Amino acid sequence: MVLALGAVEMLRRRGATDGAGDLVAVAPVLVGVIAALVLVRLYPLPLRGLARPAGRLRGAVGPLALARAGRTSASAVLPLLALLTAFTVAAFGGSVLNGVTDARDRAALLSVGADARVEAEAALPAGLAGRLGQAPGVRQVTEVGIDYQAKIQEGRQSLPLATVDPADYAALAGRTGLGAFPAGELGRPDGAEGGSEDAVRPALASPAVAERLGDGTFQVRLADGALATLRIVLVRDRTPAVNGDDFLVVDRAGLPAAATRPNVALLTGADLDAGAVHRAADDAGTVHLRSEERGSYVDSPLQSGGERIYTAAVAAAAGYATLALLLSLASAAPERAALLARLRTMGLTRAQGRRLLVLESLPQALPAALGGILTGWAAVRLLSPGIDLTTLAVPATTSPAGRAELSADPWSLAVPAVAVLVLAVGVAAVQAWWSGRRGAVAELRAGDAR
């Protein structure tokens, strides 16, 4: 217990670096061992408490199964210890792999801004959006004009300015989850007709820009030299068109056409055909695909090697859990066969024998499954503050999505638990079926070592 608490506390304080990397492997195992020892001591108590009320029920199968399950022995303790330890390792490793996957998906989305991006230094040719929209898998094309050197505060500062159609861009932001906002908040006011420099236009800004410019009005010099008066009405951490901490987004309507020509096309859709998108772009601009960007994150030995290590840990834990459960059931098979043989001479039917073995296996498999879920979740929550998945997820030391944190993956917790329950019930049912196929003499001599 002291060793486990020390490993967890040191990992939370120092992280997985600065010489504490070995604790990442040791701490989940120690948490699982401690939880298993506690569960082994506790789980027979409620079974024994239920045995007396169950004795008043009709039939002998339920009370007999509870009475047998409540008797703990060394042979029952060791499989439960192995199961919980393997569960904890599998849940921890599965959560790491899921966190790495989510971090790569998020980083690729932030880098591209959508499922695909076509960007040119000058304005995109007319009709390109229509051609891109006809590519297989493309659902919508959103055109954006980006001026990366828009001047603010009388030219003393510059930052990216995106001119958009509010309705289309709001739909894109909502689908990608990058700074969703109501389209009406960015719409052109009535006084902005004709491109008047004095008309105040609403703008969406990043937190850094909003803090720098405040909530008053300010002027931005566009690419053609015209001025636009803006006021920040929306603040979002991210936006699809610009990947960075500084950006402004405004409605292009009413602004000079020469300064708002689209030079970026953002594509969304499922299963985009990369070849078709490249052919539709036809060298009109540089094509960036989210899938290709994500694939570039696993090219380095560190990312691919680290992922293989955790995958191997999950597979080994699943194998050990299965082996422990099978060995436990196999070691008790002769005793169970002898019990069924004697009970059948007293009138127990084959259906009742199957129910008896299934019910007898559940008190060990069910606590292992529920305890494994709880222990795996607790291990991830305890160790997550000291683990940064950014290095495993992307080659760079800093990710576009920021720090990749470890969080519990529901599938990594639920799948092993369900698998153990199904395996335990299935093996017990097969054992009862096989025992019932044997002759009467063989059944009476089942488990006889003489």
Q: What gap in Å lies between CA 447 and CA 63, rounded to an integer? A: 23
Q: Which two tokens stand for residue 125?
A: 């040719």
pLDDT band at 210 (very low <50, low <70, confident <90, very high): very high
| CA proximity to 243, closest of 264, 226, 257 | 264
Q: Is 344 helix (H, G, I), strand (E, B) or coil?
A: helix
**Segment among 40-44, 84-88, 281-285, 316-320 with least mean pLDDT:** 40-44
Backbone phi, then psi, for 145, in 5-degree steps? -100, 120
pLDDT tens digits, one per residue of 240-291 = 999 888 999 999 988 888 888 899 999 998 888 889 998 988 888 899 999 8
Asked if 422 contacts 358 with a C-beta cutoff of 8 angstroms, the reply is no
pLDDT band at 333 (very low <50, low <70, confident <90, very high): confident
Q: What gap in Å lies between CA 232 and CA 242, rounded to an integer? A: 17
Q: What gap in Å lies between CA 335 and CA 332, rounded to an integer? A: 5
Q: Is 417 helix (H, G, I), strand (E, B) or coil?
A: helix
pLDDT of residue 438: 58
With a cut of 70, say whether residue 55 has pLDDT above it.
no
Residue appearing with tokens 């006011």: 189
Q: Between 111 and 61, name the one with better pLDDT.
A: 111
Q: What gap in Å lies between CA 254 and CA 163, rounded to an integer? A: 11
Beta-strand pair 217-221/116-119? unpaired
Residue appearing with tokens 């488990």: 447
Backbone phi, then psi, for 318, in 5-degree steps? -65, -40
CA 410 to chain centre: 8
Name 267's bridge partners. Answer: 116, 141
Asked if 422 contacts 355 with a C-beta cutoff of 8 angstroms, the reply is no
Backbone phi, then psi, for 389, in 5-degree steps? -85, 5
Q: Which of 9-23, 191-205, 256-270, 328-342 has the highest mean pLDDT?
A: 256-270
